[in-house]
Structure 1
């Protein structure tokens, strides 16, 4: 069997099993949306659970749990949630705080002995929110130091220098969560995994949830797949998913290691929001408040999960703010703070990144959250969109000038406009996208990228002559632009 045939067989098998894993009811819009995402991103299996009014209102499983043996996923299939585990650690810490056993604003030295001098004054809150400056327990290859031995790992990491001054910036860090595990074990009188099992899994009715990794035998496990593999110092993208492996030593499992189902995770959210895990509403408010850096700002992973609270990444924004734990680029859950809505998406593809499309799922329950309705656009781009919908995209230059005249502080960002243009293109609004790309070249006439993007949309809409002009202008502005050079050659230009 040659490579192309193998790819075809995989794709055919994927589509067949994707369909077979569905229930007998007719697929709704969310089903179709998720199936499309799975096929485009090569996600073998996915579970989704949606919570409204304290109840699970959608609970669906799609695809293939085990590619090697062609095993369809079911509602009992178990997925790794990776770093979403940190949110459970945040709850565990707040449970001990409610009992008066710890203070999140107390220094580490109150609870742990034999710490390096520079570690002793770091507060638990700073550890939980990744602003501590502690050296990381993961090496350059993202392997846990110390050959998975806790004593050796602690010895090695304690010998490392601080990475930055406390509170200076957000930098994801695993060491602090290992220390939190030691504190939970000490103060609760049981190993932290047992404490989390007893006080969260059992209370929330998470019957299938457990700790583990690729080296544990986990019934109904969905496994882990990846679209990349390492070749030397580079990572190469595969055409089809390959097997991935994860190892989470027991002492590391405050940071990662929980295996669960979307149903169990939804029940955990319900238990948390209904006071069965934390008794005081203020405890949840504290747990979901992002840390403030020394410069007065918040810090997080990216523009979406732009802050970090006590084990919980935050989606801090004016419209539909949320807390959004993510794990391994494969699992995510969003709790929308001002809406009666929580969504869990678990997959078995590292790099599936469901956090990037959970908001679109939310749009099926809250229509103004649909990307097509402008949700997620930067504020000034959204103002431009509103005006263009009224006055016509063909008048983009005139509309923009009017907005600037009305508000001298109104500005548009080249990258944001470019991203919106491609978003419109993805929504099959090529005509509108064309006007946005043209506007971008008007506002940023010295941008090679703006002209390159304009050339692409002109070529796509059949305007070969205009596309050549745009590509040539792009190449003039940036002679190193290989895409423009290639397209000129392909279109028969010189």
Structure 2
């Protein structure tokens, strides 16, 4: 899939959405190189914040290898602290593409084979693992179901141990990898795929999932306000999460605010500025400034669905106002 070279990130206290679209070349200037007229963008954001009763959000617009526009809107918490482009938000399932990037990095280093059965990377007792490949986890064609993940989510809410991811991944393996027959599966979205991928990253790299992501993705992309735990993000100004209940947005501080065992599938934190850096790498063959986090071939693979209308590797395709886009919604429980 060809990606047009403009990207937009919007993060709100309710949800952070990431998508790629086209605005046209116009006369926009990169961040720091002068002022451009984004008054229509600001007006649109103001209307939507009022219409949806959004407390605050952050916006990043990227074109090619440049950030065109970064701005925070509204409040980050009840104190009235303003949202800035550096304010961290929970990015939900947008983090799946970060997990996919980690897996593909290890593949490019020759440390894993995405077409190998996952039995190579997880304990041998799970007999069904011989029939599912790493690629199938990435493309969500393993046959795992999303509805069956909720019991794991509920049981791991209070598990804040360092091995929470391993325990959750192996619990999914117990649930889904008992079938000992080869079966073809169509696309079916499930967090279990990406939790297992995060566990494989740990097994192959010898690092925790969080340490790997920080060293190999956040650091080279200068994502200085991106974090792998809620506590880290809170220390650096995390925006208060909200839930929409009967049309009203209510500040949320409940049990689902952070589930370490589900981190590779939906519990990472980032800012509009940092995600702009990430998008620059996504639309420039894996490169940001002088660093490369993935080859151009690897990026194309990430963004290509095996069958149109299914799932690439952390990305899905769609259309907005008639234009082709790729993206990934990002909400949490």
Using the size of structure 1 for normalisation, the TM-score is: 0.52
Match of 2:21?
none
Where 1:58 maps in the other structure, the secondary structure is strand
- Say whether the 8 Å CA contact 1:208–1:264 is kept in structure 2: yes
Q: Does 1:92 align with 2:95?
A: no
Distance 2:235 2:155 in 1: 22
**Residues 206-241 of structure 1 deviation map (CA, whole Å, 9 limit, x = unaligned):** 11111123797332111101121xxxxxxxx05453
Matched, 1:127 2:137: yes
The count of aligned residue pairs is 286
* Larger relative helix fraction: 1
Where does residue 401 of structure 1 map in the other structure?
A: none
Q: Which residue of 2 aligns with 1:388?
A: none
**Higher Rg of the two aligned structures:** 1
Q: Does the 8 Å contact 1:145/1:156 carry over to 2?
A: no
Query: 3-state SS of the aligned residue for 1:200?
Result: helix
Deviation at 1:159, TM superposition (A): 4.2
Instruction: Note closer, same or farther for the CA distance 1:154–1:72 as it changes in structure 2 (3 Å cut).
Output: closer
Q: Which residue of 1 aligns with 2:250?
A: 241
Structure 2 alignment gaps of length 5 or more? 1-34
Shift of the alpha carbon at 1:121? 1.4
- Matching residue within 307, 311, 315 for 1:312: 315
Contact between 1:135 and 1:163, CA under 8 Å: does it hold in 2? no
Instruction: Please report how far the alpha carbon of residue 162 of structure 1 lies from its aligned counterpart in structure 2 after TM superposition.
Output: 6.6
Structure-2 change in CA distance of 1:26 and 1:315 (3 Å):
closer
| 8 A contact 1:211–1:257 mirrored in 2 | yes
Q: 2: distance between equivalents of 1:266 and 1:195? A: 20
Unmatched 5+ residue regions in structure 1? 1-23, 229-236, 293-297, 299-305, 330-349, 351-494
CA RMSD of aligned residues (A): 3.1
Are 1:215 and 1:247, in contact at CA under 8 Å, matched by a contact in 2?
A: no
How many angstroms apart in 1 are the aligned matches of 2:236 and 2:168?
30
SS at 1:74 equivalent: coil
- Give 1:417-432 correspondences, 5 Å limit: none
Given candidates 264, 267, 275, the residue that maps to 1:254 is 264
* Partners of 1:247 and 1:131 in 2: CA distance: 28
Once residues 40 and 259 of structure 1 are traced to their aligned partners in structure 2, the CA distance between those partners, rounded to angstroms, is 26
1:62 counterpart residue number: 73
Conserved? CA contact 1:84–1:256, under 8 Å: yes
Identify if the C-alpha distance between structure 1 residues 63 and 99 changes in structure 2 by more than 3 Å, giving closer, same or farther.
same
Contact 2:118 2:132 in 1 (8 A): yes
- 1:479 corresponds in structure 2 to none
- TM normalised by structure 2 equals 0.75
